């Protein structure tokens, strides 16, 4: 059985990257004043996490996007659709929920290694 690798983030009690075998899980939030800006920064962070774990955005299997306000989904979607490769659409869900203060967007996804 392959080992589980955990790469901590800044928050105690959780990791920003976990890998097991060929699978990668990662999560990100980003700074910014708008959903558009936070989505861009979050996806940049996730892209760096994927690279560190031996994957990339072409290998994403599924994603869950958490928004503090579902009315901003179209704003997030514009950034997401520009970022994700046309031939790499993952299974994705968007959920409206409360997030940490100041966070408008949080994205968690699963990918396979490149």
How confident is the model over 16-26, as pLDDT tens digits? 999 999 999 99
- Three-state SS for 67? strand
**For the stretch 61-88, what's the b/e string if a residue is b when 16 or more beta carbons lie within 10 angstroms of its beta carbon?**
eebebbbbeeebeebbeebbeeebeeee
pTM score, two decimals? 0.94
Domain spans of the chain?
4-112
Task: Name the helix (H) or strand (E) containing 93.
Answer: strand 91-96
How confident is the model over 27-71, as pLDDT tens digits? 999 999 999 999 999 999 999 999 999 999 999 999 999 999 999
User: Hey, what CATH topology would domain 4-112 get?
Assistant: 60s Ribosomal Protein L30; Chain: A; (3.30.1330)
């Amino acid at each position: 059985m392959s080992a589980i690798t955990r790469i901590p983030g800044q928050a105690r009690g959780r990791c920003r990257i976990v890998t097991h075998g060929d699978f990668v899980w990662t999560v990100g939030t980003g700074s910014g004043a708008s959903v558009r800006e936070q989505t861009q920064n979050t996806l940049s962070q996730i892209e760096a996490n994927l690279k560190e774990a031996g994957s990339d955005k072409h290998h994403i299997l599924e994603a869950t996007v958490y928004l503090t306000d579902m009315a901003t989904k179209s704003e997030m979607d514009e950034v997401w659709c520009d970022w994700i490769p046309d031939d790499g659409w993952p299974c994705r869900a968007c959920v409206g929920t409360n997030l940490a203060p100041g966070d408008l967007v949080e994205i968690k996804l699963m990918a396979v290694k490149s």
